[in-house]
Every structure is written in C-alpha cells, then in structure tokens.
A and B are shown apart, each in its own frame.
Chain A
C-alpha cells in the first residue's frame, strides 16, 4: 500500500471510530463490523494491480475528502419529483438514512415489511438478524468490507411466504444537498418462499461530488419471483461503487435490470449465486455514457446446483470520451449439470474517443452443460445508415433509429410500465433526432 492510499485508508478507519461502533449488528454475526473494518484495513483500496480493477481507477477516491453522512441532509418531496414513481410504494433514503416523512408505505399487504434496516435491527426483526451479512462476502472485496463496517442504515424489505406484492416498491437513494459526503447504504431484501415482488432501486443525488457505496443483499427463497430494477441516475460528478448480491434458492426466478446513466465513476458488482435446482436468473443491463463518465459492470454468475438457467445481456452506448468496462464470469460448479448459461455484452461506440474493455469468461467444472458467451464492440453499421438514408431518412434520424434499435431489446424487457416509459423518454432525449424515433415507434 503506498503512502497516499494508506492515509486515505486511515481516514476511513477514523470514520469507523466515530460512527461505526454505535450502530447495531446482526445477532447472527457478532463482531461483524469490527471484522469488516479489519479486513478493509488489510486490503486497502484496490489498485490497478488487482485483476478485477485493472481498468477502473479508484484513485480519485483517495484525492477527495469525503465526510461520513452521519445524519440525513435536508431534502423535500419536491426535490425528488424527477425520480419518484407516484403509484408505487416508496421508501426514501437520504444520505443512506431512512426518512419516513418522504416515504409512502401505505397499503402494503399484511406481513410485508419495508423501511429502514437500522430500525429493523433495533426492534429485533428475526429475518434481518438472521440474513444480514450472510451473503455479501468481504474477504476480497474492500468496498463491501467498508460498507459492512460503516453502514448506518439502508433498506429492509421482507416479503413473507406466499405473499404476492402487486404494486412495485420503489427504494429511492438520494444524496442530500451537501457536497463531498459519503454514505454506505446497506440493503437487505428477502423474498420468502413462493412470494412475488417487484423492486425499483433508484440512485440519485442533489449535492456536489458525493460518494455512495451501497451493498444490496437480495435473497429469493424457494419459488420466489423477484423483478429487481436498479436505476443509476446520479449527478455526473458522483462516485458510485456498489455490490448487488442475488442469492437464488430452488425454483426461484430472479430478473435484474441495471439501467445506468448517471455518475462520473460507477462500478457495479453483480453476484448471482444459483444455489438450488431449477433457478432462472436473468440479468439485463444498459449503460449510456458520455463526457468522461466511466462505468464498470463486473458480473459473477455462480451455478452451484444442477438444472439452472442464467441469461445475461448487457448493452452499452458510449459517447464522447466515456469509458466502459464489462467483465462477466460464469462459474459452473462441479455438480451443476444441465446448466444453461448465456452471456452477451454488446457495445456501441458513437465516438472515436470512447473506449470499452470487455471480457467475458467461462469457468466450467461440470461436463453436461450449455454455456455460451460473446461480446462485441462496434460502431453504427454504415450499410444500415446508408440503407435508411437512401429511403429518405436523414442521417441523424437514421442514426437515432439505429441507436434506439440497439437498445430496444433491453427496453422491451422492462416489465414495469412507468420505468419503461421513463427509459424510452430518456433514450429519446439522448438521441439527435429522438422526436422522429418517438413518432416511428
């Protein structure tokens, strides 16, 4: 560890001393926070020498002085109007802290719990105490260690066995108006046996240059059906380093949609562990970047049991000098026979200065499996542009149609109508001739 990094690491250790100790821990893991902090101290921030961080430089974290958000900043409902979906149940977190006044949790089915994790721990919720910290390992993950040590609060969603939650639940994570703050939202979502729930995690920000480092553990118990959306809509000066861990039990069906537009430096680690037979896990992603945005998606899909399917499709559209990284590992364990795993990453570069590093990998220890992976990086197809133009469509409109077409299958997979509409509108707004595309589609 070099001196500068060591110094920054020390400032996080100090943050732990002021904030970490007072906060509660899951009963199932006494000493968890101390353990995590020690682990972080040992690991330090990753550098480019770490295989998983070769193309994503977290150096800027070391140059900024972030103060830990001990209390939530002042935010009104009006401030959130851009990001909230009025017809959904809603829990709002400001600087990582649950804010009841901004939330609307009326009308949830009986037994469904949605709210702050700190409160759930404080009042002894058994699910929270049993499940928290069980899945997101921090052995090698410095940022997960940091989150585990420093989190103050976050979302807790618990859906009991057989309960179907019809209305989507939106979890809004917003950073308050203060600048240079950091927060570590810790989210635990547990969908009980044969339950069904749709969740929208929105990340947005008001203040300048904030650092958000969330960890979401999502547990789908046997036969549960979970549709999980993650909307990255932060300011383009924000830093965001996140882990989503999906733990999928037998016969569960988990869909994940990662829609990433905001942030200056964004890193999303996605881990899906298919830990029972008959799991179906779909991971969709779309990232749109421009300016100097940097978005890194690191995927680990672990097939631990036989007869599971995983389908991954991540697409990126890069403009200007932006950068993207995609690293996708599918790991099929020894006895995970009849695995069907498919992974695709496609990138569309709209500028000569944009750049993508894409690296799909398969590690297969079973012999009777169907695994495919592939990645592409390319520009708009000149033949297609010309074909459209030769029928009277202007060059900009032709390109807009083709860019939209590129993103289209991800859009179509979004099952929550207002989210899909929002996504479409966002795409139209980003296209040079969005109006023409809107009329055409």
Chain B
C-alpha cells in the first residue's frame, strides 16, 4: 500500500502536467482544423477549377501520407527554413493541417448531400453565396456531419500522443517519464488510458448536445 501511494504521488502530478498539454493541443488543433477544413471545403466547391485543384492536392497530400512522417518533416523541415517554432506549436500546426484535410471532406460531402433545390430556392430570392452557405446549407448538414466530425475529433485527441516523438510534453510523453521513475508501467499506462478516455467522453457529450439541439430543426 505504501508502495502504491509512492507511485501515485510521483505519477499523478506528471500525468496532470501532460494532460493539460494534451488538452491544449487538442482544443487548438480542433479549432484550427475546423477553420482550415472549412476553407478547403469552400475551395473544393468553387467553380474555379484551379482553386478546386489546389484544395484537392492539399487533401491528397495530408490524407495519403503518415501523420508521423508529417510530424517529423515539420520538426526537422521548419527550422531548416529558418523558422524558429517550439515543438508545441509545430505539433499544433501539423495536427491542424492533417485533420483539416479530413474535415474538409466531411464538410464537402455534407454540403453535397443537400438537394440542389435548396440553394436554387435561395438563389431565386437573390441570396448570395455566403448567406446561402451559412443560412441554408450548413444548418441542414449538421445532422449528417456531426457523427463523422466527432470521430475525427476523438482521433485528433488520440493522435496527440504521437507528438511525444518531437519532445512535446503531452500525456504520453509524461507517461513514459513517470514509468522511468516508478517502474510501474501497468499502473501508469492504465491511468494514462483512463485520462484519454475521459477527454474523449467529454467531447462525445458536447457533440451529442449540439446534435440533439439541431435534430429538432433539421429533417
């Protein structure tokens, strides 16, 4: 029992430190990836073929190469371009760029699933592109895109663990550190796993709420 208390005393502060960083990165990456993903989606829907092509290439690059390779490339590549950025922000940037590709596809398929008559009825009263997007199309996609978006957000949180390879002091990194001191891998990993689980359950609860609120409105 005393031994257990000693392990917990060392482990818990370390993991809490990591937990905070993991949450910070996750939240920032989710926000940025929604913004960038939405812009990429708009580019995919553009009538301008060049604009669309740029977006398609972006999606191809980020979806078809391993996340870990992207992380290493940014970690070693950005400094060689003369950019001095901390590992934390490199992590946020790569996570955002990577997830944006997936989120763009989710947004796009959601918008394309709305019958054409919906935007035509908006056009017929003289509504412009952005109003049609934000007032007519997007509200109707919420029911369709929330489940896949939720999945993507859960994946984002789990993928933050990969950032330990570039020295970001997130939860997995701190877990390894705690094991190095306590030599109790089973207990420490269990605790780390539980913490990831709690974050993701939290995300699921939030998105469920948004979905429910919208179900009353959309078909």
Q: Are A and B part of the same complex?
A: no
Residues on A close to B: CB < 8 A?
A: none
